[in-house]
Amino acid sequence: MTKQIWLNLPVKNVAKAKDFFWKIGFSFNEQHDTPSSTCMVVGENHFVVMLFEESLFESFSQNKLTDTKSSSEILISIDAENREEVDELAKKVQEAGGHIFAEPAESQGWMYGFGFADLDGHRWNVLFMDFAKLS
C-alpha cells in the first residue's frame, strides 16, 4: 500500500533553512529543489523532509500555519549513534543559529538527548537510546 513517507515543513526562507540544516550535518537531494522548496534527506533510510516556503505550504495544506513561537504541532525525533553524537549535534545547532530548548541530559536512566528549535521554530528531539539500560 504505502511505498514511502516524508515530512513537509513550512519555512520562511528556503535558502536560510537549507544552510542551517547543511551546517548541522544533513544532506539534500538537489534534483528536487525549486526556488520555493528543497529536499532534505535524513538518516540511513534517506527519510525525506521537504522544506517549503510558507505560502506554498499553506496552499498545499489548505490551512493556516501554527505559530511556532507559541505552540507546537509536532516534535521531530532523531536517533543518535551515541552520547558523543548528541553533544556534537547540540554544538552544531548552536553554532548554526538554532535554539536549544533542552540541554543535553540523561532521561529515565536509558536515554540521553537534547531538544532544539530550527530557524523557523520547528522542534526537534535528538536521542541516544541505550536499550541495555532499559528495565
Does 73-135 match 1-62 at the fold level? yes
Distance CA 27, CA 125 (A): 18
Q: DSSP 3-state assignment of 91?
A: helix
Domain 1-62: CATH architecture, name and number where available: Roll (3.10)
Q: What is the pTM of this model?
A: 0.90
The three cell numbers locating residue 16: 536560510
CATH no. for 73-135: 3.10.180.10
Give per-residue burial for 53-80: e unless 16+ CB within 10 Å, then b: bbebbeeeeeeeeeebeeeeeeeeebeb
For the segment 22-79, what is each residue's pLDDT rounded down to a tens digit?
A: 999 999 999 999 999 999 999 988 999 999 999 999 999 999 999 999 999 899 999 9
Domain ranges of the chain: 1-62, 73-135
